[in-house]
Copies of this chain bind each other. A is one copy, B any other.
């Protein structure tokens, strides 16, 4: 049975027509063992390669946002120039490797739960996320680039 079947159903479930572009996008995004972190540009390239054919930037933006709104993707922001999406949509934490610009999910056991002792009055907490920036020990020249 072709694996694309799953994604056709999945897309229908969330009210998106399973077009060739979207099925290919889903395969790139979700047909993998580990969670996947990507930028829009990464994704455009990967889908175009997979399809052996150009996919429009606009299509990728539209569909990524549609999947995000439906809860299948989540945006992660590292700094103003690096916006990533994550196929792991649960609230979870990240390492960011400053040498390689790579984002890595924290395993649930890597960090103890964050204990917030005092919240802003009248507000409820929607999410708590930790970002751990790492680099190799001899990488201090980054600061003087």
Chain A interface residue count: which class? 35 or more
Q: What distance in Å separates the Cβ of A34 from its nearest Cβ neighbour in chain B? A: 15
Pair A118/B110 contact, Cβ less than 8 Å: yes
Q: Is the interface of A mostly helix, strand, loop or mixed?
A: strand
A80→B130 CA distance, assembly (Å)? 17
Chain A residues close to B by CB (< 8 Å): 75, 77-80, 83, 95, 97-99, 104, 107, 109-112, 114-120, 122-137
What are 20 A-B contacts defined by CB distance under 8 Å? A75-B80, A77-B78, A98-B126, A109-B118, A110-B117, A110-B118, A110-B119, A111-B117, A112-B114, A112-B117, A119-B134, A120-B134, A122-B136, A122-B137, A124-B134, A124-B135, A125-B134, A126-B134, A126-B135, A128-B132
